[in-house]
Amino acid sequence: MIALTAACVGWGLTIPSGKVALGWLDPLTLGAARFALAAPVLALAGRRGLRAALDREVIAWGVVFYAAVVGLQNAGVARTSVSHAALIVGAVPAFVALAMLARGEARSGPAQWAGFLLALAGAGLVAGPGGAATLGGDLLVLCSAALSALYLAAQPPLLRVRDPVAVTAVQMAAGALATIPVALALEGAPQAAASACDLGAFAALVGVGSVAPFALYAWGQARVGAEVAGAFVNLETVVGAAVGAVAFHDPLGPAQAAGALAILGGLLLGAQAPGEGPAAEAGEREPAAA
């Protein structure tokens, strides 16, 4: 749980830092550069598990998430407000539960579904009106959220028998390699950074928002069910909206404070799904060591 919490707090910084970095790099180029730099660091840390992680299914889901999901999210963030993007990310846990339901593997009970709805309502309060939002940008982020849920639902079986850090490294590298030719074709070669602020935002996106959070989340996800892991994504909404309010002057008042409390309450409910949790998962199969 601590690993999932830390990961999602780190991810909460990616939307605002990505918003700044998108002033320099185009959406696809930003994703490719971000993961091309982060993947070797994780590969070094998880080098003992790389051979097992070089699997077709692992690579395929890496392309789905680190190329398609992140590319769509970057394109959406470039066209909408930080707060609206954070709101839509708050829908991911409900999408994960629906994906598990469609796969016939849902374990969510009434309490967890209540948590999903409470957190989603809270996300709406946190984001609220305002900011430079557009419908097109919101729809792109929504598509990225839906694909992200499919990825989160598919990950646990891949992680239980492999080193999560090595899996993350392989998937990041696959996503970067898949994105680079598309980015060059559609966006052209990147230009030099216009300011130190652009470079700082990109460095934060790679270090604080990529290397540690993705590895921590994969490690935590290997030890809980997909629906419980998905519930923690709500923390990203709270952090992203808070930074958006401070740095981008998006609205923040009593309604947003109430929304943040609702999100945290929904997270607590979502983490109490029947039959879920580290003990239940450990009884099925011991995860690989990170």
What tokens does 244 get?
């958006």
> What sign for the dihedral angle of Cα 140, 200, 176, 42?
negative
What is the chain's pLDDT, residue by residue, as a tens digit (290 residues)? 788 888 877 777 777 788 888 889 999 999 999 999 999 999 999 999 999 999 999 999 999 999 999 999 899 888 887 767 777 777 787 788 788 877 777 666 787 778 777 877 776 665 555 556 677 888 888 889 889 989 988 998 899 889 999 999 999 999 999 999 999 999 999 888 778 888 888 998 898 888 888 888 888 888 877 777 777 776 776 776 666 666 666 656 676 677 767 777 776 776 664 444 433 444 433 333 33
pTM over 0.85: no
The per-residue pLDDT for 220 is 85
The per-residue pLDDT for 290 is 38
Q: Is the separation of the CB atoms in 267 and 1 below 8 Å?
A: no
The per-residue pLDDT for 289 is 37
Residues near 159 by beta carbon (within 8 Å), at least 6 away in sequence:
167, 218, 221, 222, 287, 288
The per-residue pLDDT for 193 is 79
Please name which of 182, 141, 282 lies closest in space to residue 222, comparing C-alpha atoms: 282
